[in-house]
Structure 1
């Protein structure tokens, strides 16, 4: 019997593949929970009066680290169950804020895809991940390189 929910294998991620995840709305409870869990008690995240009076950003601001974590969660659900073996590196660029009530999704493009030389039953896949809000604004881009399970050895 086939198991549903298994992620993409290396062979399923050729150069140029594009896809989009489902969306997720960031709530005030998400932000407060993340801040408390991580100890990120910066006034930008904990003091609404500071945001009103001194910040250019209005609304309950989400830490970029939270936005990144949510994006990774959306991707794990869709693409990496049982097939994602390692997160090797990335570059990350924050382009704009996310506040409580924003809904984000991730748009991915495979920009590198090659078989591992050391482990032929694995592939190395780099994607360009653009996190977008409900209005289409890109709020973050990052380019992770991941090791993925392959179906074959060559």
Structure 2
């Protein structure tokens, strides 16, 4: 029995499976100090708000181990992609992002996603654009970030 004969799990959604109004939720993800340091060093976020605890204690309006919004976006979008776009998502086209409140090391975040746009491409009928509104919540149910990615997605059929 070859691998082509076995059902593949974890395959992403096709365009047809993402109608406007469809909603889903990601699993949760706890943010650790190691995550923050890896992101800060990898992305070059040397801002003292993320690297200097003494500065934060003495000068910041927000106390605690803050996490950059870009890190929240990256981690949550990774969770969304992991379960929705494997083999079917071909490009991240754009997004708008709004930060609603701080996120800290130790928080557990998840997203609630709603499809707000889904349309087939006229020039490539086996592809389409899907936009979602992704709201990121912490463990207390507080909305901390919203973003609206548009993605180039594979369709199951050509029309």
1:107 to 84, 87, 112: 112
Cα deviations by residue, 1:71-94 (Å, 9 ceiling, x for unpaired): 111011110100001111111111
C-alpha separation between the residues in 2 aligned to 1:89 and 1:66? 17
1:93 match: 98
2:50 to 45, 49, 56: 45
- The list of structure 1 runs, each at least 4 consecutive aligned residues, that deviate by more than 2 angstroms after superposition, is none
2:3 match: none
Please tell me the root mean square deviation across aligned C-alpha atoms, in Å. Answer: 0.8
Q: Quick check: 50-59 or 114-123, which moved more?
A: 50-59
TM superposition shift of 1:2: 1.4
Cα deviations by residue, 1:59-106 (Å, 9 ceiling, x for unpaired): 111111111100111011110100001111111111111110000001
Cα deviations by residue, 1:26-79 (Å, 9 ceiling, x for unpaired): 001100111111121111001101111111212111111111100111011110
User: How many residues are aligned here?
Assistant: 154
1:80 to 70, 80, 85: 85
C-alpha separation between the residues in 1 aligned to 2:121 and 2:92? 14
3-state SS in 2 of match to 1:112: strand
2:41 match: 36
TM-score normalised to the size of structure 1? 0.97
TM-score normalised to the size of structure 2? 0.94
1:148 to 116, 138, 153: 153
C-alpha separation between the residues in 1 aligned to 2:42 and 2:144? 23
3-state SS in 2 of match to 1:120: coil
1:64 match: 69
- Aligned pairs (5 A) from 1:111-130: 111-130=116-135
